Amino acid sequence: MDLDEFTHITLAVLEDQGAAAYAPTIIADDTLQVIQGIPEGLDHRKALQETVQRLGLEQSDFYFGVKSGPGEVTTGFHTAVRTQVQRISEMQQGFVVSGLEDCAWWTLGQGRDQ
pLDDT along the chain (114 residues), means of 10: 96 92 94 93 95 94 96 95 94 91 82 40
Alpha helices, H only, the chain: 3-17, 44-54
Residue 2 sits at φ, ψ, to 5 deg, of -125, 180
Dihedral sign (CA 98, 6, 90, 100): negative
pLDDT of amino acid 85: 96
pTM: 0.91
